[in-house]
Amino acid sequence: MNRKEEPIPLWRQLNATSGVVLAVGEGASGTAAVDHVPTDLRPGVQALAFHVWRNLGRAQALRKQLAPRAPPPAADALLCVALALAWRDAEAPYDMFTLVNQTVEAAKRNPSTKAQASFLNACLRRFLREKDALVAATDADPVAFWNHPAWWIKRLQHERPGQWREILQAANRHAPMTLRVNVRKTSPTAYLASLQQAGIAAIGGLDAAIVLERPVGVQHLPGFEQGLVSVQDAAAQMAAPLLLQGLAAGAEPCILDACAAPGGKTGHLLELTDGQVLALEIDPARTTRIGQNLARLGLQATVVTADAARPQEWWDGQLFDAILLDAPCTASGIVRRHPDVRWLRRESDIAQLAGIQKRMLETLWGLLRPGGRLLYCTCSLFQAEGAGQVQTFLTHNTDAVLLPSPGHLMPRSVAKGEVVPDNESCDHDGFYYALLQKRMA
């Protein structure tokens, strides 16, 4: 007889969550921080951490109301975790009194916060008594109201004066689970029927995109292991068709996917063309993921661990017909899926990343044949990583022509119950696309 598994105490999850939040505050990515959490705690901690990051601006403002002088970092993180989880009744994952009691228990059991347990208890008991007044006192703080850093808000207000509110609202909603149908193996219509038979509600989007009504584990998706579908945001699914459009029909183009991990766009390219694809990735661990994803899809590419900006180390001298440059960026357009990013990034990162993007764009342009196409894209909202970058490139490269391109795609998020207009694109992340063609000599 199997012994029934004991439920995981909430105090353990809170301690682990505060550790993850603290790690991001110190510069670690949320993904890396969650990966260091014990396996049994990881799913619950990730869910709690995502909730905290979506409410961290409010939590930090409330902490300042309760304790103008910040406690030591570990205690501050635990207090902010509790406040982020508790401040909005409708979304609180636990009863408020339970949350307070378990936060204090977490503090007592952690050597880094044990000395502040009484302090945390006093702060949270006061919060219970004065919650409405404390929340109202923070409403005028833009960081608390929008749950984004002040510099991020100001930049969007300047660059998107008519859209910044909607962009920030969309960023705090949960992203949908969007699938890309492998058209080599099935069709969107056929796969929608398979989902219906499996009891999974979904709607068709543009091209091969399907949006699930609610997320499910990939193990529940019909034919996932056989490569019938992949999980990929609707905006990211635009890359492969954009790059391939206009290439000679029936040709087998030579294509470079310059920053390929984890392989979603590589796979999509190979689903749509019989061309030869070279996929580069600078990180060996992420290179492995490309191979794993292609194996599941039953597709083949030449996958190389290399720095795309140093072609002398990997290029054989053959010019490419098409190049996909999904450049490193702030990832400001995908904060629905990675809500830690807004707290991880610093405004100075934009200029640093724009410099990397500029060097990669200039370098790879020299590897493109005359008449060939390069698709530059980033999952960023900011002009410096999108239109500004491309305008500068066009000014200095007179052999480049900007073809019709989506440009900046602001994140689109559909609230529950909202009616989607006819012919509207799927719910998607923020992206930028510029399709460039090299003039014939």
Is 379 noted as a catalytic residue in this protein? yes
Q: Are 171 and 55 in contact (CB under 8 A)?
A: no
* Residues 385/357, Cβ–Cβ less than 8 Å: yes
Angle of helix 117-138 versus helix 56-66 axis, rounded to 10:
110
Cβ atoms of 107 and 116 closer than 8 Å: yes
CB 238 within 8 A of CB 426: no
Q: Do 48 and 27 form a contact (C-beta atoms < 8 A)?
A: no
Alpha helical stretches, state H, 172-208 = 188-197
CA angle 401, 379, 165 (to 5 degrees): 110
Catalytic residue among 80, 259, 377, 379: 379
Could you tell me if residue 327 is left (phi over 0), alpha (psi between -120 and 50 degrees) or otherwise beta? beta
**255 close to 324: Cβ distance less than 8 angstroms:** yes
Do residues 300 and 294 make contact, with C-beta atoms less than 8 angstroms apart?
yes
**204 near 176, Cβ under 8 Å?**
no
Question: How many helices (H) and strands (E) in the chain?
Answer: 17, 11
Backbone angles phi, psi at 233, to 5 degrees: -60, 150
Residue with tokens 């990997």: 314
SS3 at position 154: helix
Phi/psi at 409 (5° precision): -105, 110
First to last CA, the chain: 77
Residue located via tokens 């219970």? 128
Q: Using alpha carbons, list the distances in angstroms from residue 270 to 180, 234, 260, 279, 342.
A: 13, 18, 13, 11, 33
CB atoms within 10 A of CB 413: 19
Distance set, CA 212 to CA 175, 204, 231, 374 (Å): 11, 9, 11, 32
Catalytic site positions = 379
